[in-house]
């Protein structure tokens, strides 16, 4: 009962936030909704006994990534999108329709299928007995997934370097701006 309530609350919040993320014209507002989205997701994770992932979700996603977005939005100081209505061409409407229909079909198929179980052997007690969620995830992470873990750390390093290199100020050529004006 509690779980349903929790799920319903979070799920509806998530759905609303997700829609607002893509619908709001102001990027800052989008970002705020994204934070809400992520926070609610963390709540869902926590309700599934995935405390570690939940904490990481908030810590990294909400606490770092979206802040970064916010920063860039402020840095670029973009106003709200100018056009009130999206200019959508015919083929784009087709794609839009196709996409929505496709997802509806998938969702429908999922709903039609038999509900397959709720929770496996990974109950709260089982996890506690195994040493807690963090410990168990850590064990998997540092044994079975050691290589991917190392790779991921390399990836981060690369990303740091790449980000610095890319964002570093360079001399802006006039030609590019002119080209933009014509293009």
Partner 1 sequence: MEFINSHILSITTFVPLLTAIAVLLSPALSIARWVSMGGSIVAFLASLHIWFYFDAQTAGLQFTEMHEWIPSFGIRYIMGVDGLNLLLIMLTTFLTPLILLSVWHLDDKKQKAFLSLFMTLECGMLGSLVAFDLVFFYVFWEAMLIPMYFIIGLWGGKNRIYATTKFIIYTFVGSLLMLAAMIVLYVLHFQQTGVYTTNLLDLYGTSAEYSTQMWLFAAFALAFAIKVPMFPFHTWLPDAHTEAPTSGSVILAGVLLKLGTYGLVRFAIPLFPQATATFAPVMVALGVIGIIYGALTAWMQKDAKKMVAYSSVSHLGFVVIGSVAVISGGAALSAEALTGAVYQQINHGISTGALFFLVGCIYDRRHTRMLADFGGIAKVMPWFAVMLIVATLSSVGLPGTGGFVGEFLILLGTFLSSPLAGATAALGVLLGAVYMLTLCRKILFGPLENEENKTLEDLTPREFAYLTPLAILAVVMGVFPNLFLDKVRPSIENLANNFRNYKIVAEAPLESNQLLGADHKEMGH
Partner 2 sequence: MVSIDHYLVLATFMFLCGTLGVLFRRNLLMVLMSIELMLNAVNLVFVSGSRLLGNLDGQVMVFFIITVAACEAGVGLAMVIALFRRYGTVDTNFLRVLRG
Partner 3 sequence: MLFWLILFFPLLGAFLNGLVLRKASPTVSHVLGAAALVAAFIYALITYLQFMGAGGQAQVITGIDWIDAGTFKAPFNFILDRLSGMMLLIITGIGSLIHIYAGGYMHEEKATYRFFSYLNLFVFMMLLLVLGDNLLVMFIGWEGVGLCSYLLIGYWYEDDKNAAAGMKAFLVNRIGDIGFLLGIFLTFKYFHTISFSQLKDMILTAGANLNGEQLQAIGWITLALFVGACGKSAQMPLYVWLPDAMAGPTPVSALIHAATMVTAGIYMMTRLNFLFYLAPDTQMVVASVGAITALFAATIALVQYDIKKVLAYSTVSQLGYMVLGCGVGAYSAGVFHLFTHACFKALLFLGAGSVIVAMHHKQDMREMGGLRKFMPVTHFVMLIGVLAIIGFPGLSGFFSKDEILWRAWTGGDSYHIQWGLGALAAVCTSFYMVRLLMLTFYGKNRSDHHTQEHLHETSVVMWGPLVVLAILSAGVGYLNVPHILPFPAHLLFENYLEPVISIPPLVADHWHHLHAEYPHSLEWAIMGVSVIGMAVSSIFAISMYSDGFGKLAQSLGSVFKSGHRVLSNKYYVDEFYDAYFVTPLRDIAQFLWKIVDVVIIDGIVNGVGQACMLIGGLSSFRMSGSLHRHGMVMIVGIVCMLSVLFF
Q: Which of 121, 125, 147, 174 binds partner 2 (CB under 8 A)?
A: 121
Restricting to residues 64-103, which ones interact with partner 2 according to CB under 8 A? 64-66, 68-69, 72-73, 75-76, 78, 81, 86, 88, 92, 95-96, 99-100, 103
Two structure tokens written together for 169: 């100020």
- The reply on whether position 144 binds partner 1 by CB under 8 A is yes
Judged by beta carbon distances under 5 to 8 A according to partner kind, the member of partner 3, partner 2, partner 1, none in contact with residue 98 is: partner 3
Pinpoint the alpha helices (H) of 24-132. Answer: 27-47, 51-56, 66-76, 90-112, 124-129
Which position among 98, 139, 140, 156 is part of the footprint of partner 3 (CB under 8 A)? 98
Site membership for partner 1, residue 148 (CB under 8 A): no
Partner whose footprint covers residue 56, from partner 2, partner 1, partner 3, none (CB < 5 to 8 Å by kind): partner 2
The answer for residues whose C-beta is within 8 angstroms of residue 40's C-beta and 6 or more apart is 10, 13, 14, 17
CB of 135 to partner 1, least distance (A): 6
| CB atoms inside a 10 Å sphere around CB 37 | 22
Q: Does 107 bind partner 3 (CB under 8 A)?
A: no
Alpha-carbon distance of 73 to 80, in angstroms, equals 11
Give dist(CA 127, CA 49) in Å, integer.
8
Q: How near is the Cβ of 1 to partner 2 at its closest, in Å?
A: 10
Q: Does the CA dihedral 119-125-129-134 come out positive or negative?
A: positive
Q: Do residues 51 and 133 lie in contact, with contact meaning Cβ atoms separated by under 8 Å?
A: yes
Give the binding site for partner 3 (CB under 8 A). 91-92, 95, 98-99, 102, 105-106, 109
């Amino acid at each position: 009962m509690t779980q349903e309530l929790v799920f319903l609350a979070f799920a509806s919040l998530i759905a609303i936030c997700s829609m607002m993320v893509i619908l709001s014209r102001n990027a800052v507002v989008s970002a705020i909704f994204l934070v809400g989205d992520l926070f609610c997701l963390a709540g869902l994770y926590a309700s599934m006994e995935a405390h570690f992932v939940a904490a990481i979700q908030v810590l990294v996603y909400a606490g770092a990534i979206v802040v970064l977005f916010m920063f860039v939005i402020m840095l670029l100081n973009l106003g709200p999108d100018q056009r009130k209505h999206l200019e959508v061409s015919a083929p784009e409407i087709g794609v839009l329709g196709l996409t929505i229909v496709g997802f509806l079909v998938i969702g429908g198929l999922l709903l039609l299928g038999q509900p397959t179980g709720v929770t496996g052997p990974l109950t709260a007690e089982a996890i506690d007995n195994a040493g807690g969620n963090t410990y168990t995830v850590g064990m998997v992470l540092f044994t079975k997934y050691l290589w991917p873990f190392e790779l991921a750390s390399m990836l981060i390093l690369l990303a740091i370097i790449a980000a610095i290199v890319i964002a570093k100020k360079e001399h802006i050529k006039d030609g590019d701006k002119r080209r933009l004006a014509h293009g």
